Amino acid sequence: MLQKIYDWIDDRVDITPIWRDIADHEVPEHVNPAHHFSAFVYCFGGLTFFVVVIQILSGMFLTMYYVPDIENAWRSVYYLQTEVAHGQIVRGMHHWGASVVIVMLLLHTLRVFFQGAYKKPRELNWMVGVLLFFTILGLGFTGYLLPWDNKAYFATEVGLNIAQDVPIIGDEIKTLLAGDEEIVGAQTLARFFAIHVFFLPAGLFALLGVHFILIRRQGISGPL
């Protein structure tokens, strides 16, 4: 059945050359654990992407029940955890995955840095990776407020005060994130939800696309 579907699509858009270009790409020997024990350090990037996929899928499920409103945000999260089948598991995956993805991304960044993989000709990919790092941090920060509990509220206040202390543009950053309100409120929650669900994921997908294209063209960097 799957073969018939593939043949039907291939007959119309000729996807076989594209698939072969991806599937037949040889993996360098230095990233094969069967040949080098240290090859596991090259898995951090793939593991980071795997956790990102989990975050995307679990986040899509959470948005089916979450209400970005100060009257109902906490109630919707509570309902998800107590009334929805497997809701507590999915929310737990998203909650802990937010921390795991930052740890994995940090390990991947350290591997690239200490092995000199940011040098020519991979400078552009390094810059894309740095932007990805800040995008993931932004997703973690904006997602922290969404449960609308006491810890999220006061942690966000601290984060906004830190943003306000940025020289020259600090006030503009805080206004962009929190709106015109003096305290964290309905406008802040609405903006954080929009940034977390729409703006940052759009940037994430674009940066990941560029990142993978550059890796495909330049290959995986070798050891020192």
Per residue in 84-109, pLDDT (tens digit) is 999 999 999 999 999 999 999 999 99
**pLDDT at 202 > cutoff 70:** yes
Mean pLDDT of 78-89: 95
Which pLDDT score, from 0 to 100, does residue 34 have?
A: 63
**pLDDT at 79 > cutoff 90:** yes
- Measure the CA–CA gap between 96 and 88, rounded to whole angstroms: 12
**CA nearest neighbour of 203 among 125, 139, 126:** 139
**pLDDT at 15 > cutoff 90:** no
Which pLDDT score, from 0 to 100, does residue 37 have?
A: 59
Q: Tell me which of 65 and 30 has the higher pLDDT.
A: 65
Fold for 39-218, please state it: Cytochrome Bc1 Complex; Chain C (1.20.810)
**Chain segment 146-195, per-residue pLDDT in tens:** 999 999 999 999 999 999 999 999 999 999 998 877 789 999 999 999 99
Per-domain boundaries in the chain: 39-218
**pLDDT at 29 > cutoff 80:** no
Peptide bond into 121 cis (omega under 30): yes
**CA nearest neighbour of 195 among 179, 209, 212, 180:** 179
Mean pLDDT of 54-70: 96
SS3 content of the chain, % helix, strand, coil (to 5): 75, 0, 25
Mean pLDDT of 45-58: 96
Which pLDDT score, from 0 to 100, does residue 33 have?
A: 66
Taking only Cα atoms into account, the Rg of the chain, rounded to an integer number of angstroms, comes to 21
- Measure the CA–CA gap between 71 and 83, rounded to whole angstroms: 19
Residue 106 CB partners (closer than 8 Å, separation 6+): 133
Which pLDDT score, from 0 to 100, does residue 36 have?
A: 65
